[in-house]
Amino acid sequence: MIDSDGAAPVQSRFRRRWARVPRELGFLLATLPVVTLAFSVLVTLFSLGASTFVFLGGVFVMAAAVVSARWFGAVELGRLEAAGMPPIARPIWSVERRSGAIGWLKHYLGDGHYWLYLLHGGVVNFAVGVATWCVAITWLVGGLGGLSYGIWSRFVPQHGSGNLWLNKVILDFVVPGLQLGNDPGVLQRNETILYTLLGLAMLATLPFVTHGLVRIHQGIAHGMLGRFASDDLKREVAALGASRDAAVSAEDHSLRRLERDIHDGPQQRLVRLQFDLASAERALDSDPAAARALLEGAREQSRETLEELRGLSRGFAPPLLQDRGLAAALESLAARSTVPTSIRLSLGESEIAPEVERSVYFIAAELLSNVAKHAAATTATVSASTRESDAGEHVLELTVFDDGVGGAAEAAGHGLAGLAERVSGLRGEFSITSPAGGPTMVATRIPLS
């Protein structure tokens, strides 16, 4: 005896299977016309292209065949998703086309995905589609016909003893020597019972049959129409290359900026300090009062130089960041801003790499500096949070908002472009929303893995 707790999940699964039957049957019953059309078009184009390949026109016909195969493949993938199957990752079709006829042909005929799509639509899917369509239509018609046999069999003409009774054949095979007699009424009743049982069995197993047939199409499409593992690897390598280039470029910009800031600030003050000390040394015996004034000025110069150096160091790796972490450093940054700045932090317990913390701090400092210099804003907001993305990856999101005049945009060689490169070097995303008249919002999203 099965208790209600055990029966409920089984009934629920069975209902879910029946709920998928209309979509799966729709896929299977439409398969024959779809695969027949694909077979006719693709085989015709391929045969014509292959037979005239020695001529220039045959090459273009072959290109038309693979392009058509890609379209039929996309239709098949869409039909599978409509049937309730999980989506299959599409190939990364190249968007770069070489100029000229030769480049156009290389683009289409040089991609292995096109040829796999042609093989799928012109051969494999046609053979499998015809077979699955026959099984599906046979199972459906057999189930419905057997269940309704007692109704429509009355209208079938009888031919006396020449009739073939399936129930008699089966019972003679199972129990040899069993005498059922030849009474048409008894045989007809047994035949009705047999066909009804067969119809019920076929309809009861219909969800499993349709799902299995659709899974066959799904498996073939996954292998032939899906993205190669090497495609993801190539994209990953390209992304890593772009991130490396962006990181190198951002580092170069940072070094140039540091060099410019040191040259324009502390270096000039140190040169002046050197001249003041030399003047004080020369005046020390002849004019002690003037020497004392020069020394006092030199001391002020050294103090201001020290403050500038501290300011530069805070822009890259302030001691507070190293000692107390990113949250405390951002709060200190907001407190020192000349524009009233509120801060919202939700960094949780995620472990953040030191290079990510330094970059996030630098980005926030640079953006707040831009707000103070160019935005003419009255308030600003810094938000930083960690969360899990839709892909299951932990990311850190930094947003700086101000109510200024807007119009901020990336320009080559300028601050925002350098920040975008720095974020790209961390394989992150950088976006600016700044319509004319404001407000401005700069959002940064950096993966923590």
* 370 residue type, one letter: N
- In this prediction the pTM is 0.52
52: Cβ–Cβ under 8 A, 6 or more apart, which residues?
Answer: 58, 61
pLDDT of residue 75: 93
Which regions in the chain score pLDDT beneath 50? 1-4, 160, 175
pLDDT of residue 71: 92
Provide DSSP, 179-242.
-----HHHHHHHHHHHHHHHHHHHHHTHHHHHHHHHHHHHHHHHHHTS--HHHHHHHHHHHHHH
pLDDT of residue 2: 44
> Considering only the top CATH level, what class is 324-447?
alpha beta
pLDDT of residue 266: 67
Q: What is the pLDDT of residues 170-191, one digit of tens each?
A: 555 554 555 555 555 555 666 7
pLDDT of residue 315: 54
DSSP 378: S
Provide DSSP, 228-289.
-HHHHHHHHHHHHHHHHHHHHHHHHHHHHHHHHHHHHTHHHHHHHHHHHHHHHHHHHHH-HH
Six token digits for residue 287 = 């004019």
pLDDT of residue 388: 78
pLDDT of residue 263: 62
pLDDT of residue 1: 40
So where are the chain's domains?
A: 1-227, 232-307, 324-447
Q: What share of the chain is helix, strand, coil (3-state, %, to 5)?
A: 70, 10, 20
pLDDT of residue 370: 83
pLDDT of residue 129: 93
Q: Which residue has the tokens 């991609």?
A: 111
Q: In what order do the strands lie in the sheet with 440-447?
A: 341-346, 380-388, 394-402, 440-447, 429-433
> For the chain, how many residues are written?
449
pLDDT of residue 386: 85
Q: What is the pLDDT of residues 198-246, one digit of tens each?
A: 888 888 888 899 999 999 999 999 988 888 766 666 666 665 565 565 5
pLDDT of residue 28: 92
